[in-house]
Amino acid sequence: MTTNAIPPFGLGTFRLNDQQVINSVTTGLELGYLHIDTAQIYGNEAEVGQAIADSGVARSDLFVTTKVWTENLSRDKLIPSLKESLKKLRMEQVDLALIHWPSPNDELPVAEYMQALAEAKQQGLARLIGISNFTIGHMQQAIGAVGTAEIATNQVEIHPFLQNRKVVEFAQANGIHLTAYMPLAYGKVMQDATLLEIAGKHGVTAAQVALAWSLQQGFAVIPSSTKRANLAANLEAVKITLSEAEMQAIAKLERGERLANPEFSPAWD
């Protein structure tokens, strides 16, 4: 992948470990996924790297993301931690390195870890850099530290029940791309009456509708699954076009239902 664009459809690996993550990534690559998302804290970078190495897919065809954990944000730890990630992934470079979460309680200034991440990019450890779980305030500081052009994406929780509109509006107004994680709300989209009704009209599943809703807004999506049928079905979401009325109906599902909210989370917008 030599383009600066983030492939719109990726495979998430959160909560997948050991053989389970090897199987998921292996199957995903067989089905045509080219964007794989992992993180230091997932504890599965080595298995993701193994699955990629064993797949026979050319590294140059893939887009691989990892995320720097909060304990590694200080200037002296960030680059060594990324080198360790690369060793586990069996790669010389990731396509995208993200700051996974802002420093808990803002103990470290955003500028410190964004500048360290920019330095990692200059050293060739990452082709692109970006952020994850950043609030508007954190985004403003990141822009101040490295400039908008250096921020390839902000990866945040977005699904029909948490539409994160303030963050989305700020990011889009400032030209920052968004990646939606947990786009299926841990499977909760499958039970929603509105999504099921729209799915019925299109002859697809509620999960595919939820993914299409994110894709149609220009977000990248990184759903995860361990089942081949679901991995294959998720990819089909790119073929769905929702009407303006359907997009509006899904917009009404917003209920502020945040699923990723650890105790060290920033004060959300």
3-state secondary structure 215-258: HHCCCEECCCCCCHHHHHHHHHHHHCCCCHHHHHHHHCCCCCCC
Question: Can you give the length of the chain in residues?
Answer: 269
Overall pTM > 0.75 = yes
Domain 11-184+218-226 has CATH 3.40.50.1580: no
One digit per residue, the tens of pLDDT, for the chain of length 269 reads 445 689 999 999 999 999 999 999 999 999 999 999 999 999 999 999 999 999 999 999 999 999 999 999 999 999 999 999 999 999 999 999 999 999 999 999 999 999 999 999 999 999 999 999 999 999 999 999 999 999 999 999 999 999 999 999 999 999 999 999 999 999 999 999 999 999 999 999 999 999 999 999 999 999 999 999 999 999 999 999 999 999 999 999 999 999 999 999 999 99
> What is the set of active-site residues?
42
Paired tokens of 2: 């030599």
Calculate the CA 209 to chain-centre distance: 18
Each residue's pLDDT tens digit, 158-169: 999 999 999 999
Task: Name residue 65's beta-bridge partners.
Answer: 37, 96
